[in-house]
């Protein structure tokens, strides 16, 4: 600035001196503008780097949150599958147990009925034998001699066979 003002005060000022002064003035302005631009560029670069770091950090946080959610979902799905399997196993087990108990009750009832049937048949056979024996004993004598003289012998053989069986 000193140079500019001193150059203007000299009477032998020429166009060259004015041009030199203008160039120096312009170069000073350019330097200040360049320094401002350089400073603002540095600020912009730092801001951009901070923004990029923040974006990367935010992306990493979103990724980790999503991955954690996915792991929890998979664990929940596995737990649900395990519970479904356990439920199905329990249902099968209880059904098998219930059907086995019902089958065992029906089987014992059937065996009881069969034993009652056998005893009823044996009783019926004994009653029938008694009736036949009574009829043979009470038959009139002439029927016994004429038609059925060998009947008491066959009845006694039947009674002996039945006694041998039991």
Tell me the per-residue pLDDT of 57-105, one tens digit each, with 9 for 90 and over: 999 999 999 999 999 999 999 999 999 999 999 999 999 999 999 999 9
What is the distance between the alpha carbons of residues 126 and 24, in angstroms, rounded to a whole number? 150
Q: For the chain, how far is it from start to end, CA to CA, in angstroms?
A: 148
Q: Is 124 exposed, middle or buried (0-12, 13-18, 19+ CB in 10 A)?
A: exposed
**pTM of the shown model:** 0.38
The domain locations on the chain are 2-165
Structure tokens at 43: 């600020």
> Roughly what angle, to the nearest 10 degrees, separates helices 151-165 and 15-137?
140
The band of 140, judged by pLDDT with boundaries at 50, 70 and 90, is low
């Amino acid at each position: 600035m000193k140079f500019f003002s001193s150059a203007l005060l000299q009477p032998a000022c020429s166009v060259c001196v004015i041009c030199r002064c203008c160039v120096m003035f312009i170069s000073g302005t350019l330097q200040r503008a360049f320094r401002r631009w350089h400073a603002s560029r540095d600020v912009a670069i730092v801001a951009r780097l901070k923004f990029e770091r923040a974006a990367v950090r935010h992306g990493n946080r979103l990724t980790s949150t999503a991955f954690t959610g996915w792991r929890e979902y998979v664990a929940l799905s596995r737990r649900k599958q395990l519970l479904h399997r356990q439920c199905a196993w329990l249902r099968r087990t209880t059904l098998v147990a219930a059907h086995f108990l019902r089958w065992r009750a029906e089987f014992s009832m059937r065996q009881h009925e069969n034993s009652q049937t056998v005893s009823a048949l044996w009783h019926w056979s004994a009653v029938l034998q008694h009736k036949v024996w009574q009829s043979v004993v009470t038959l009139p004598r002439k029927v016994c001699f004429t038609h059925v003289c060998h009947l008491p012998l066959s009845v006694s053989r039947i009674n002996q066979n039945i006694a041998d069986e039991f």
